[in-house]
Amino acid sequence: MQFQISNDFIEKIEQLVEEKNNKQLLLQLEDLHHADIAEILDELSLDDATYVIKLLKTDKTAEVLLELNDDDREKVLNNLSAKEIANEIEEMDTDDAADIVAELSPDVKARVIKYIQDEEHADNIVELLRYDEDSAGGLMAKELVKVNENWSVTGCMSEMREQAENVTRVHSIYVVDNRNHLKGRLSLKDLLTAPSNAQISDVYIKKVDYVNVNTPGEEVARIMQKYDLEAIPVVNEMGKLVGRITIDDIVDFIREEAERDYQMAAGISEDVEANDSLWQLTRARLPWLILALLGGFVSVNVLEAFDEAIKTHAALFFFVPLMAAMAGNVGVQSSAIVLQALANRSLRGSLLKRLLKEVSLSLLNGFVLACLLIGGGMFLLDLGWGFSLTVGISLILVIINASLIGTFVPIILDKQGIDPAMATGPFITTSNDIFGILIYFSIAKLILGF
């Protein structure tokens, strides 16, 4: 049964902390999963959360720290000494340890690494910190199980047992040569059924999917998803095995990327949380709002240019919000489909083919919506055939324009190496508002004349 946190339970934990009743406090927490403990700490004050963190066993504390959200973890770490942080990091896999150390200030980071007693662990963490956090090198862990192609099956078993002690979960066994070049992978079934005097070179599988340390995280995620991999080895520029990326790490990466893209699409330029400071939230949102304001000024100037049209045909003004709304909606829809295709690398074919498809789709959708609009204008609003036809034709052209902008802006940004998520949200909506209003009044001028 899943553990449920209640107000009564939180109050009980707070009372035990206040009373310094460590024995009872540990008894309450000992059977809980580290993710549940992290959720409990999120409800406590900073001082109480720090008290609990220091009380827990080191291996448990390490797991809890990893489950805390970034802001809470930063606050807790600021309340711990460099030596205390180093003790927790010793219990973590290298990839998780590197993520924690990367969040520290340069001064604290240096002192924490100095306090780590396991020199190999410290060296591995320092190595991982050299890589971009969104690359395969930044996502990988150094802990893995590998065997030499020249070993015998019997000798291999004892070596694997020793290596497996430092690996939380053994997903794969990798085969290397004497210079640590990745040669293939070893099936546990083949290893168990092979004759004891057989060589690893006789039983290992030569085909193995792998990535380079500089491979972008998005590409790693695509490969692992395509081939249903639980783990993938990472090699350096010389083809030497340097680490592995497991499915839990790539899932975390995908979630963070999705959150980042969602925020950017909504017009938030920085990675922020709901409980961040007022200044952080303002700094993240204000740039796009300024862009929207400037776009609004342009829209006002466009409307002002058609002042005579509004005076002559006042009803034109009432359809301006409709044109702007339809342009924004269609643009966001189109860009969302393209962003999804760019993310999973399923966008195939020439730009001309994509253009024809978007125009065809826009014509179909626009025609249906225009018919509804013309019918409503004539029979419900009694606007007349000429005026209703003007609005209907304008709507079709506005939809086509919005669809093309929503489709090609993300593609162009992607080709320029810019995150295409920037093309959605306020950017698309603002640009389509301007072009939509311009098209609407240009068609009206052409048909109605003024």
d(CA 392, CA 371): 7
d(CA 80, CA 97): 16
Rounded to two decimals, the pTM is: 0.68
Residue with tokens 């520290």: 104
| pLDDT at position 291 | 73
| pLDDT at position 188 | 81
Q: What are phi and psi of 321, to 5 degrees?
A: -60, -35
d(CA 243, CA 139): 9
Residues 6+ apart with CB under 8 A from 243: 94, 95, 128, 137, 140, 141, 142, 144, 233, 234
| pLDDT at position 5 | 79
178, β-bridge pairs: none
Q: Is there a contact between 217 and 136 (Cβ–Cβ < 8 Å)? A: yes
- Give the burial class of 106: count Cβ atoms within 10 A of its Cβ; 0-12 exposed, 13-18 middle, 19 or more buried: exposed
DSSP SS3 for 215 = coil
Domains within the chain, CATH numbers bracketed: 7-129 (1.25.60.10), 145-247 (3.10.580.10), 278-448 (1.10.357.20)
- The residues of the chain scoring below 70 in pLDDT are 1-3, 261-277, 280-281, 284-285, 343-352, 354, 419, 421-426, 450
Q: Would the CA dihedral through 104, 106, 112, 118 be positive or negative?
A: positive
The full DSSP string for 95-160 is HHHHHHHHTS-HHHHHHHHHH-S-HHHHHHHHHHHTS-TTBHHHH-BS--EEEETTSBHHHHHHHH
| pLDDT at position 342 | 73
| pLDDT at position 69 | 80
DSSP SS3 for 372 = helix
Q: Is there a contact between 390 and 253 (Cβ–Cβ < 8 Å)? A: no
The full DSSP string for 298-325 is HHHHHHHHTHHHHHH-THHHHTHHHHHH
Residues 6+ apart with CB under 8 A from 410: 335, 338, 339, 342, 420, 423, 424
Residue with tokens 């961040």: 276
d(CA 77, CA 88): 10
234, β-bridge pairs: 211, 243
